[in-house]
Amino acid sequence: MTEQASFLKPDMPSGVHVGRDVMLPEGLSDELLTGSLERVFAEDDNLEAVVVHWPSGPAYVVREDFLDTLKPEMRSVGGFGDADQLFLAGKEQLKPVKFDCPVDGQRFEVFFLNPGEIRICPQHPGVQLVAAVDE
Amino acid sequence: MTIGITTGTVGVSYTRSTLICRTRSMERIGREGLPGTGRSTSQIGMPVASLDMTRRYFQHGRGDASQKRHVRGLMARGVADMVQGGDGAGARPEFILAPASGDLTVLDDLIAQAAERGAAGMDAPLVAGIVRWGPHFLWRLEERMRADERIIELFQRGWVLFGAWLGGQLYTDDARELDWRARAGLELWRTGSDAAAAFELLIAQCVLALPRGHELRDEERARSMIETALRRAREEHDDLQVLRCGRSLLWSLHLVWEENSQLIDEGLAILASLGDDAGPEAAELAAEWRLSAAFALSAQGQRIVAPARDEARDEARALFERSLEVYEPVMLPQQADPQAAIRTVWHWGHLLMNAGYPKLAAETFAAVRDLDTQGSDLWWHATYEEGLVRADVGDWSRARGLLRGIQESLLVNYAAWVCFAPGAAELGLTRLSDDDEPSAHRELSEGMGTLALAEAVDGDWAESFRQLETTKALDYRQRTILRHSRRAPGTAAARTEGHSGFMHGVPVIETDDERAQLTAALASELRGPTIGQVARSLAADQAVLSLGIAQGMWGMCVVTGDAEQPSGTLLRTDAGSVSWMELLGTQQLAELFQGSGDISGFDDALAGLLAQVDELIAAPVAGLLRDRDIRHLTVIPDGWLNLLPMAALPSFAEVAVSSAASARLVAAAPQAVELGRQALIVVDPVGDLPAAHAERAALDRHGLACRLALRSLTGSEATASAVSEASRGAGLFHFAGHATGNAMFPGKAGFVMAAGTPAAKGRIWEVGELEAEPGALSSCALAVLSACESGRGGVRIDSISDYSGLPPGLLALGVSAVVATLWRIPDDLGALFADLFYEKLAAVETADLPQLVHDTRLDLRTLTGSEGAERLMALRAGVSDAIARVRLEAYARRLRKLGARQPFAGPASWTSFYHTGVRYLRLPDPGKAS
């Protein structure tokens, strides 16, 4: 369960710079949570930490803590059913949509946004985020 | 114990003559009407008397040899006419090309001819119509019958002939006939008519007689058809039909045991109720049913024994004893046909052998040899089986004498199967399915393997080595033979004879001249090399170690380049086939070979196994290798030993060890090949192995981009067709991705390539498909398969020593050397192996590939966590894919935490990689690649 992912910390870590704000829905599978954060950290080698804005509140992820959870994959097809993901349709290419807060311009990276879905700024209650103009 | 024997025998069922049709069904035609019409015979004015001939035929057909011969002769001529297109009708039945909806005048002409000739001459035109139009001809007869009463007789005779065709044996060596017959049967079956129901069992048997891989060979459907026929027979209380259906299901051995067991109980109850006066057909059917049931019992016993569970042995013993009890009554009656009597004794020998009475079995087979004519099918089989069983009980001298006498025919039969296997040419196969192997394959392997050890017992190692090598790499040689053009089936007069014909209807060249030609032509491909031939091909620092296992014994022969004393030999009786199987068959090792999880947990079990194998194989020859300054040893494993990392045996620590399928391949290979300038790197076709990107970076990082023109196919670009196309002209092929090596079905081994369709991410590019790609990898000097199980060979319970999977597939395509893995590897290990390997390769002008792989393995073994992390970060610098970069950073971070510890020191990590093929690789000069 995502709530139990070891790299999610409830408090702002000291001594690291939190460089990005990520918005994720609750109840994500471990694979999707990992895939989303992997994409965020992959885009910036110097990104030390990110804050994940859940509907229920923020959590913090430090790069090193997150990387420690990534284990090498096996290059095998495995036994029956083990490798179904290799042969299923589609490909996981997780990519965030960037939104800004109209109040202070803070940038949020939103994953898994349904068409027409509105996101509210976690810092400014009731303020709808707007799609970033540089997107 | 020859575990595979029952399976081989089972193949008899669909090729033996079974002129079966349902008497009761024909009676029902009389009672309820003609097939497809729903009208009674009286309604169409059909005299019931005209059914008598049909009844007589079906009631007495099985026992009436002359009648059977007559019908077979008719069908053979009809089919031959069609195959040869003698009357210009072409070589395919009309009902396949255009069901009888078109011009019916040809059909009507044949019907007119038949009517004109009357009872004495109607068969020939009827046969011609049936084989060309199948049931459509019969339906046309039915239509015509309404207007012309004379046609009734033709109609009845037509159904008889059609049933004889469906239920008969092969009438020609042309495998297309199987196809036509099945199509004709299915054409009828699809109507769902009474006639279809009447012939359901025969149609199912036609489907099952098709070669594996045939589009119509749907085993599920066939079984369902037989089961439907069985249900109907039960409803109708047609006991004989119940026995026929039960026999077919028991032969197939596809049912779960509970179902087989029920069939056997039911059949025994029917036999008990039939009594002794049930007639000749019932008696013959009863004998055949008993044979099926006995072998089903025996096969189930073998299945239970195979896993070697002690607690199951009693259960297996009970099944074996019951198999003897079930078959014993067949032994008792005096049989009129002497050949049938001898065959009965022969089956008895098999059951005794399976049941664990080898001495009795040997005497039984000896009796068959005495009874039958020398050179006959059964004589040959009895000689072969007795030879194996004599070896089983340690009578190696008699085993040698018996097997020596048939060794030439072992080769001829195998060669004939490979060249003329039904369906091979028509289906354009470049390799034959494992499931289609007839006993000729097993017999050559097992017979020659046993003879090799028998010769060794006698001290004749020269013969022993050659015979042992003849059994090696049959699968590989089969592929290469099939790639050669060969005579089309049917161009030589062929007949079903010899053991292959008896067992499986495989045609064997008929005349002595043709037989001699075939033997001579294939002898050089099938015969193993002599010790001298191998020795002459070796450099002074090179040796070949050939291993052979048979019965309770195993032997080794080391051949070196020393002209004076080329070989050293060892024969041991402390481990035979079963012991080796048990040694390798522990549950934890099975998990290493077959599982999908982390491999480091298997280090202890693997180290223990390697220590035991070292004591048996490596330690005894280490001194010889040391004394002769051997630096490169090629091990030619036998059977299950191909799963083992021979290079990791402690006593071989100072020697670079390669694997090869046979000494013949070693002797035939050049010492060195040139590496062409084109290199193809396939990177992560499915997109979930980020570290695979680092392997392309490894080639760049070590300067190989200056010597080779590197081309990558990455992610979704790497479809099978794109890789095939790009591989033409590539000197180096590097694959970094997923692969699978299927030990039980090595033909299923393959690379996972991008699917090239939105419907799926990836698909397995099986080795068979790869081999069928013309020109693919034909210029490739080195293939590095950085993927799981990419070098996994097959495991065969019948002990056939075959070298199968991806490496032999690539070698058959023309690749000179392959570096591959025995089991799964993690993503980071693949990247580090590639980095270390290409670093060494780039540093030399001529690479000693076995030494390079040996050194790379050792480097991996001693690599510290810090060093590994440094290498991964250096590779990361050359990778542009963002996800790959973050993954490499993560993997490096994990390794860095280990500091001076060696994360890959366990044998499960570093021993998986091995080399096969050419030894030296000359690299292109630097600075010339674009």
Three-class SS string for B599-616? CHHHHHHHHHHHHHHHHH
pLDDT band of B264, cuts 50, 70, 90 = very high
CA distance to partner chain A, nearest, from residue B777 (Å): 22
Structure tokens of B866? 């810090």
Give the three-class secondary structure for B810: helix
State how far the alpha carbon of B649 is from the alpha carbons of B612, B625, B636, B908, in Å: 9, 14, 14, 13
Query: Closest residue of B to A39, CA-based?
Result: B883
Structure tokens of B73? 């002769």
Contact A72 B885 (CB under 8 A): no
Of B880, B877, B879, B865, the residue nearest B829 (C-alpha): B865
Of B414, B102, B688, B301, the residue nearest A84 (C-alpha): B688
CA distance to partner chain B, nearest, from residue A124 (Å): 33
Q: What percent of chain B has pLDDT over 90?
A: 30
With residue B550 as reference, give the H or E element that holds it: strand B542-550
Query: Closest residue of A to B895, CA-based?
Result: A68
Q: CB neighbours of A80 closer than 8 A, spacing ≥ 6?
A: none
Give the pLDDT confidence score for residue B780 in this predicted structure: 96
- Secondary structure tally for chain A: helices H, strands E: 3, 7
Mean pLDDT of B676-699: 93
With residue B544 as reference, give the H or E element that holds it: strand B542-550
Contact A76 B789 (CB under 8 A): yes
CA B222 to chain centre: 21
Least confident of A73-77, B306-310, B362-366, B831-835: B306-310
Of B753, B724, B749, the residue nearest B736 (C-alpha): B753
Contact A90 B763 (CB under 8 A): no
Gap between the Cα atoms of B903 and B905, Å rounded: 6
Structure tokens of B77? 């001529």
For residue B918, pLDDT beyond 60: yes
- Amino acid identity of residue A130, one-letter, is V
Contact by Cβ (8 Å): B779, B846:
no
Bigger pLDDT: B843 or B194? Answer: B843
Contact A75 B762 (CB under 8 A): no
With residue B348 as reference, give the H or E element that holds it: helix B338-354
Gap between the Cα atoms of B831 and A71, Å rounded: 14
**How many A-B residue pairs are in contact by the CB < 8 A criterion?**
103
For residue B375, pLDDT beyond 80: no
How many C-alpha atoms does A113 have within 13 Å on its Cβ side?
20
Of B476, B504, B502, the residue nearest B420 (C-alpha): B504
Question: What are B361's strand-pairing partners?
Answer: none
pTM, entire model? 0.74
For residue B680, pLDDT beyond 90: yes
Structure tokens of B644? 């083992």
Mutate to test the interface with A, among B593, B596, B744, B748 (most CBs of A within 10 A): B596
Contact B885 A70 (CB under 8 A): no
Rg from Cα positions in chain A: 16
Contact A42 B737 (CB under 8 A): no
pLDDT band of B831, cuts 50, 70, 90 = very high
Gap between the Cα atoms of B805 and B822, Å rounded: 11
Query: Closest residue of B to A71, CA-based?
Result: B891
Q: CB neighbours of B456 closer than 8 A, spacing ≥ 6?
A: B464, B548, B555, B569, B571
For residue B740, pLDDT beyond 60: yes
pLDDT band of B928, cuts 50, 70, 90 = low
Give the pLDDT confidence score for residue B861 in this predicted structure: 96
CA distance to partner chain A, nearest, from residue B755 (Å): 8
pLDDT band of B423, cuts 50, 70, 90 = very low
Of B689, B739, B764, the CB nearest to A73: B689
Of B596, B687, B889, the CB nearest to A74: B596
A39: chain B residues, CB-CB within 8 Å: 882-883
Of B585, B637, B924, B659, the residue nearest B800 (C-alpha): B637
Contact by Cβ (8 Å): B141, B151:
yes
Query: DSSP for B118-152?
Result: -TTT-HHHHHHHHHHHTHHHHHHHHHHHHH-TTHH
Contact A75 B689 (CB under 8 A): yes
Least confident of A91-105, B149-163, B419-433, B435-449: B419-433
Give per-residue pLDDT as tens, B99-112: 445 567 778 888 99
pLDDT band of B59, cuts 50, 70, 90 = very low
A34: chain B residues, CB-CB within 8 Å: none
Bigger pLDDT: B840 or B199? Answer: B840
Contact A70 B891 (CB under 8 A): yes
For residue B424, pLDDT beyond 80: no
* Mean per-residue pLDDT of chain A: 83
Of B596, B738, B887, the CB nearest to A70: B887
Give the pLDDT confidence score for residue B49 in this predicted structure: 29
CA distance to partner chain A, nearest, from residue B733 (Å): 18
For residue B504, pLDDT beyond 80: no
A44: chain B residues, CB-CB within 8 Å: none
Query: Closest residue of B to A67, CA-based?
Result: B890
B885: chain A residues, CB-CB within 8 Å: 42, 45
**Sign of torsion over alpha carbons B743, B744, B747, B753:** negative
CA angle at B493 for the pair B496 and B342, rounded to the nearest 5°: 20
Question: What are A8's strand-pairing partners?
Answer: A61
Gap between the Cα atoms of A117 and B24, Å rounded: 72
Contact by Cβ (8 Å): B467, B557:
no
pLDDT band of B387, cuts 50, 70, 90 = very high
Mean pLDDT of B262-278: 86
Query: Closest residue of B to A43, CA-based?
Result: B882
Contact B826 A74 (CB under 8 A): yes
For residue B635, pLDDT beyond 80: yes
Contact B826 A39 (CB under 8 A): no
Mean pLDDT of B275-280: 73
Contact A67 B889 (CB under 8 A): yes
Mean pLDDT of B349-363: 89
* Mean per-residue pLDDT of chain B: 78
CA B897 to chain centre: 49
For residue B580, pLDDT beyond 60: yes
For residue B803, pLDDT beyond 90: no
A82: chain B residues, CB-CB within 8 Å: 596
CA B4 to chain centre: 12
Of B594, B595, B762, the CB nearest to A86: B762
Of A38, A72, A75, the CB nearest to B787: A75
CA B192 to chain centre: 35
A67: chain B residues, CB-CB within 8 Å: 886, 889-890, 893
State how far the alpha carbon of B73 is from the alpha carbons of A108, B78, B93, in Å: 85, 9, 19
pLDDT band of B476, cuts 50, 70, 90 = confident
Gap between the Cα atoms of B401 and B413, Å rounded: 19
Count of CB atoms situated within 10 Å of the CB of A100? 18
Give the three-class secondary structure for B691: helix
Query: Closest residue of B to A74, CA-based?
Result: B826
Exposed e or buried b per residue across B106-134, where buried means at least 16 C-beta atoms within 10 angstroms of its C-beta: bbeebbebbbeeeeeebbbbbbbbbbbbb
Give the pLDDT confidence score for residue A99 in this predicted structure: 92
Bigger pLDDT: B397 or B599? Answer: B397
Give the three-class secondary structure for A50: strand
Q: Which of B478-482, B902-906, B924-928 is modeled with the greatest confidence? A: B902-906
Contact B594 A74 (CB under 8 A): no
Contact A87 B691 (CB under 8 A): no
Gap between the Cα atoms of B294 and B301, Å rounded: 11
Give the pLDDT confidence score for residue B338 in this predicted structure: 74
For residue B498, pLDDT beyond 90: no
Contact A88 B752 (CB under 8 A): no
* Kind of pairing between the strands at B709-714 and A130-131: unpaired
Query: Closest residue of A to B691, CA-based?
Result: A72
Least confident of A1-15, B183-197, B497-511, B686-700: B497-511
For residue A1, pLDDT beyond 90: no
